[in-house]
Structure 1
């Protein structure tokens, strides 16, 4: 994954947010013109992400040369070099903290997603749209860097009928599914269900995908057996409270896929930043 998820305009806004009126300390010390180098290294094993955005931040901050050594999606061990940049002290100081924050946050999401993907094999792991508003492009890149897929980017692309929709529907499940198929023939009907009776009702109505909200793995397995006995085979998606701690149990329960938002709340990865001044030693941050 080598492309930036954000435009230059968006990255400029991130820089401007951190440096709205110049770097007061660097300017006051008069060190801005000094030649400098900075390295980002992983403090622990992680799935790297956001290094392309970090490189572009350094480039936009001034006359710098930046090299990505671990692109987004790359698994790395402790001590691995993620990227390095050379340029004036002013340019590197302007960009390094924003770049570090971005790499740590995105790598944390990617690392968490990768852990769930590994635990859930061979099931696909889809991450929901329950990311922090305003971070969608970066969040999507991060979960994909971890090997997960995207559940849905927004309301415009899939038919997903929640209980909140059904409050306003008088029709029976069969009539609702027929309406969805008639008006959106290219889309599959997805229904989120909360108990076994709803599972059977919507499966019999012809819903192709049932999203099982907070069904423990043992209940899901029992439902799969009931559906098979009835000759019904909807795709079952386990969702609600699914994470690395129980993904393997869902994989063996009869689920066809996992949908989760857990990676979005993962702690940031830990990235060490080392500055060097030409002819002098370096310092970690």
Structure 2
């Protein structure tokens, strides 16, 4: 499981409390024993509860309980509880809550995508792209995994994926540069993106290991899958571009191996009710 470091979490806390909590200090309530709870307002897949709990510990509080990331939580359900003084809990309150709400939003959408896709093909793999908001990669990846999806690509360093923006610079037949690439990185997959059926077939014949079928209608993806399979080529076929909860089952039913999407990153956070109250 991905866990954000104490250094990372301390920076997040410092952004919200750079020079103390003026309100709590002026009211004189900072030393009163208190409890803080999180309850889901809607059904959700919880995420980042570990980080929220650690923020409370870093602020001087004590964790009583929380559900692990990836847990389905029902409306009204208590899923996170901590104690401390009113001062320590107010220090961590808003940033911990917001992190859980945003991360759980991504996890919940990822889970809905997986459920929708598997209605069309129980064996389909749903991968989420690197198109998360810059600076949020770790928590975004954690949320995707918590939702039951996988990560399509962490970044540019670990995968070989050729887009049109690369191919415009290449000379000669596709077979030539595919062979050169394979000779240089024999342990890597040769992945290429395309947006037409005929080109997908040419690239599969040229030796591509993985084809991303970008923004192709469902019928075209189905045709590309059928024709490439008829040729006996073992190329992995992934539908990408515009894949979302409403069409995931249809794309999955084409027989492709994988759906690639960014849609889980975009949408509202989950709604969580946070209560801080005195003990006793």
Question: Which bracket does the TM-score occupy, shorter chain normalised?
Answer: over 0.9
Equivalence for 2:30: 32
Aligned to 2:273: 272
| 1:95-134 map, 5 Å | 95-121=92-118, 122=122, 123-134=124-135
Aligned residue in 2 for 1:88: 85
* Count of residues in correspondence between the two structures: 276
What is the rounded CA distance, in whole Å, between the counterparts of 1:252 and 1:258 in structure 2? 11
What is residue 147 of structure 2 aligned with on the other side? 146
Q: SS in structure 2 opposite 1:14?
A: helix
Instruction: Name 1:157's counterpart in structure 2.
Output: 158
Per-residue Cα deviation, 1:99-136 (whole angstroms, up to 9, x for no partner): 00000000000000000011112201001000011100
Rounded to whole Å, the distance in 1 between the matches of 2:57 and 2:159 is 38
User: Are residue 79 (structure 1) and residue 76 (structure 2) matched?
Assistant: yes
Instruction: Say if 1:131 and 1:264, in contact at 8 Å, map to a contact too.
Output: yes
Does residue 68 in structure 1 map to residue 65 in structure 2? yes
Q: Is the 8 A contact 1:70 1:81 kept in 2?
A: no
RMSD of aligned residue pairs (Cα, Å): 1.1
> Which residues of structure 1 form unaligned runs of 5+?
280-285
Separation of aligned partners in 2, 1:90 and 1:189? 55
Q: Residue 13 of structure 2: which of 7, 12, 15 is its match?
A: 15
Question: C-alpha distance in 2, partners of 1:245/1:182?
Answer: 41
Structure 2 counterpart of 1:258: 259
- For residues 258 and 128 of structure 2, the distance between their equivalents in structure 1, rounded to whole angstroms, comes to 11
TM-score, L = length of structure 1: 0.94
Q: Does the 8 Å contact 1:51/1:68 carry over to 2?
A: no
Equivalents in 2 of 1:84, 1:44: separation in Å?
18
Q: Is the 8 A contact 1:42 1:76 kept in 2?
A: yes
Quote the Cα distance in structure 1 between the aligned partners of 2:234 and 2:220. Answer: 16
Q: Residue 268 of structure 1 aligns to a residue in which SS?
A: coil
Counterparts of 1:160 and 1:55 in 2: how far apart (Å)? 38
Cα distance, 1:233 vs. partner?
A: 3.6
